[in-house]
Structure formats: C-alpha cells, structure tokens
Amino acid sequence: MEIRYKPEELTRLPRSVRYEPGRVTMIDQTLLPREFREIELRTVDEVAEAIITMKVRGAPAIGAAAAFGLALYADTSNARTKEEFMDGFERAYERLKNTRPTAVNLFWALNRVKSLVEEHLEDPLDEIKRLIVAEAQKIANEDVEANLRMGHYGAEVLPEGNVLTHCNAGSLATVQLGTVGAVLRVMHRDGTLKLLWVDETRPVLQGARLSAWEYHYDGIPLKLISDNMAGFVMQQGKVDAIIVGADRIVANGDFANKIGTYTLAVLAKEHGIPFFTVAPLSTIDMSLKSGKEIPIEERKPEEVLTCGGCKIAPDVDVYNPAFDVTPHKYLTGIITDQGVVWPPFERNLKKLFKRE
C-alpha cells in the first residue's frame, strides 16, 4: 500500500485536540454546526468534563484528550517531591479513566502514559514530567499517521460508488482526518466516492451535526438522511458499501459502535452490501472474547426527550444506550492501520497482533 496524500491534502480542518504547555485546546463539538469554537482547558477536571459532556468525542480523540490531560497535570503540578507528584498523577489518571466506559482508546492511552512513568520512577521529577508530555504528543501524532494509513488501505478495498456512514468517525472523532473520514477523503481525492449518505444518528445527531458539517466543509458530495430511511435507500440500490467506526473491537471481531450500527449491519446483509468497520489497533481489545463482554454506556434520558434544547416528548421512562454491539458475522472486513483483516476474524486478528 502506497501513501499518496499528506493530511493537509485531504482536509482543511485543524486538529480536533492539541496540547501546548499549560493548556489543552479542542474544538467544542457540542456547538457544531451552529458555531465553530475552540476552547482552552487548563485543569484535569476541565478535560474530564469535556470528555463526559462530549465536547470531545470519538474513541481516538478521547484517548488523545485523556493523554493530554495527564500532560496538563505534569506541566501544572506544584508537587515538591516525586511522591507528592505521583499521588496527584494517580488522582488525575483515575479522574480521566472514569469518564466514559466503552471507548477502549481512553484506557489504552492512559495506561500507555502510566506504564512509561512506572518505567522511569527512578528518573528525576523534571524528566518524568517531560516524558509524560512527550508521550501524549506522540500518541496524538501517531493517531494522524494511523488514520492516513487506514484511509489508503480502505480506499483500496471499498467499491467505487455510493457509501453510507453512521455517526461521526471523521476528523472530529480523531486527532485529524478520521478513521472512516480518512477512507472517505482518500476516495474523494481519487474520484471513487460518488456520493456519501450520512445517517443523522439519533439521539445526539452526530451524523447531522458533525459528519455532514465536516464532510461538506471539505467538499465531499453528500446527502443527509434520517436513520429510519437507510433501509429504503439500500432497497433502492443507492448504496454500494457501508463504512462505520468502532469504539471497541474484541478478539472474535464483534464490535461496539454508536447505537444504530447493528441495525445497519443487518440491513446490509439482507441487501448484499459490503459492511466495513475502520479502527486503529488501539481500538482492538484482545482481552475480551466476544461482544457480550463489552460494557455499554447508558446516557441521560434528556438526550432522547429533547432535541436542540427543545422538549420533544413527555416525561416518560427512557432507555438510552450510547452504543450497540454488532456480531462479527455481519462484517465484511476490519480496516486497521496495519492492513485489512478478513474473516475468520478471531484467527486473523490473533495473527495481526502476533505480527505486531
């Protein structure tokens, strides 16, 4: 696989989250599409709240933001001793770890920084702080590089034509480019993406608010549909492939993604449409054997009872799982930053990690 494009050739968007000494800067995604605004966060608590309230969202972006939260602690800590610093580091780690339970990149990024610190406990305190900041920056840079590879791998295997996507796995969901977003951007640049169908993605409308906004911003031809129109669009023969992101993929290929993904997978199988998920290796959790073991976040009922701040339903009981689990039998392939994994997924994912 040849990398043909640079990130700046594929998108005009800045990085969704970045770090400078003493502050984490991110695009506030709760304000889109009405307003584009970058916010500056100067405490670990502010970073944690931004993750919980989905100012930053998408598994890879959450992972980078959490790592930057630890970098922020390292840069702003007033600890005088290494013991005092490590006590504060553990509190920051726990605060960030307990923000969102489903996105495995969150734990992967935090544990990567923590493991590095534990390896260097005998180093001077200033060196430990420097290593934390450098590792967080490395995680963010690697995410962009991984997305670029996934974009080119995916563009090689998706058929030319019309593609449908769900939720937002674009540039806003990662540090830059996106997982799905990178594939779509490379296809668009190659001229093989004719039309992008975007599900609005109830209840928080990430497809309508975020995907439609960012892909339109980058000039990708698209049509926005409500979630319950997807089956009819497939029945009409207007979809050639479906591509979605993932918040956690497990050892047998089952994966958790935004609620509504499972419905699309079943519809795709009925209509004979290729169905792919795209995610870096950091999203794959080989410690879990099947999707039944994935913890599913349940969010506030207000997300279902309101829309855009307006009440749309009476005060009734609400079930609001943020994610669903798609069994691997519905998957055509898993596009990763190390290549495309085909069935049988359990065997081939194991091979991929042995190779790594």
Q: Which amino acid makes up residue 274?
A: P
| CA quadruple 303, 307, 313, 315: dihedral sign | positive
Residue 3 reports pLDDT greater than 80: yes
pLDDT digits (tens, 9 = 90+) for 95-112: 999 999 877 899 999 999
Question: Tokens in use for 242?
Answer: 């479906």
| CA quadruple 264, 266, 269, 272: dihedral sign | negative
Written as one string, the DSSP assignment of 230-256 is HHHHHHTT--SEEEE--SEEETTS-EE
Binding site for substrate, residues?
57-59, 100, 206, 257-258
SS3 257: strand
> What's the confidence (pLDDT) of residue 54?
93
> What's the confidence (pLDDT) of residue 356?
66
What b-and-e string marks burial along 201-222, b requiring 16 or more CB atoms within 10 Å of the CB?
bbbbbbbbbbbbbbbeebebeb
Average pLDDT of the chain is: 96
> What's the confidence (pLDDT) of residue 104?
85
Residue 197 reports pLDDT greater than 80: yes
Spatial distance between the Cα atoms of 315 and 217, rounded to a whole number of angstroms: 37
CA–CA distances in Å: residue 52 to residues 38, 48, 160: 17, 6, 38
Binding site, residues?
57-59, 100, 206, 257-258
The phi, psi pair for 199, rounded to 5°, reads: -70, 140
Place of tokens 């392939």: 333
Active site residue 254: no
CA–CA distances in Å: residue 251 to residues 56, 259, 289, 324, 331: 27, 21, 5, 17, 14
Q: Which domains does the chain have, with CATH numbers?
A: 7-145 (1.20.120.420), 157-355 (3.40.50.10470)
CB 26 within 8 Å of CB 65? yes
* Confidence (pTM): 0.93
pLDDT digits (tens, 9 = 90+) for 300-325: 999 999 998 899 999 999 999 999 99
Q: Which amino acid makes up residue 97?
A: K
Kind of pairing between the strands at 339-341 and 333-336:
antiparallel
SS3 193: strand
Q: Which of 143, 199, 247, 254 is catalytic?
A: 247
Kind of pairing between the strands at 248-250 and 284-285:
parallel
CB 199 within 8 Å of CB 180? no
> What's the confidence (pLDDT) of residue 73?
98
> What's the confidence (pLDDT) of residue 1?
84
CB 54 within 8 Å of CB 39? no
Q: Which of 57, 283, 80, 285 is nearest to 174 (CA)?
A: 57
